[in-house]
Amino acid sequence: ETGVTQTPRHLVMGMTNKKSLKCEQHLGHNAMYWYKQSAKKPLELMFVYNFKEQTENNSVPSRFSPECPNSSHLFLHLHTLQPEDSALYLCASSQEGGNEQFFGPGTRLTVL
């Protein structure tokens, strides 16, 4: 247990569905991250939030919409996804100014 939880752990959705991924950290951190991990590719940073403010959007398509209501919670809202969006989506957190990122177990997403 790293102190970062993600739900659901597995998700299968159609291209027309709308779903949300949830991440919660219990570490008192104030920076949170969404990553995408696809086979044969390095981890891709999607979004970064510092103190609830989005500070990085790494050219992510608008069908991915992040939300950070407070420093402990991070959501990724999904709509009209494509099959190539199937991947493991990882959430991480860190202390602002800190060096180390702590990861959740990920959500395995399959888009049919």
Chain residues in the site for another protein (CB under 8 A): 2, 4, 6, 31, 33, 40-43, 45, 48, 50, 55-56, 88, 90, 92, 94, 96-97, 99-106, 108
Q: State phi, psi for 83 to the nearest 5 degrees.
A: -55, -30
Contacts of 18 (CB under 8 A, 6+ apart): 77, 78, 79
Neighbour-count burial of 66, counting CB atoms closer than 10 A to its CB (0-12 exposed, 13-18 middle, 19+ buried):
buried
Give me the least distance between CB of 75 and another protein, in Å please. Answer: 17
Total residues found in the chain within this entry: 112
CB nearer to another protein: give 48 or 78.
48
Give me the least distance between CB of 80 and another protein, in Å please. Answer: 26
Give me the least distance between CB of 61 and another protein, in Å please. Answer: 19
CB nearer to another protein: give 47 or 64.
47
CB nearer to another protein: give 9 or 18.
9
CB nearer to another protein: give 38 or 82.
38
CA distance 23 to 7: 7
Give me the least distance between CB of 105 and another protein, in Å please. Answer: 4
Q: Could you tell me the CA-to-CA distances from 15 to 12, 61, 110 in Å, in that order?
A: 10, 15, 10
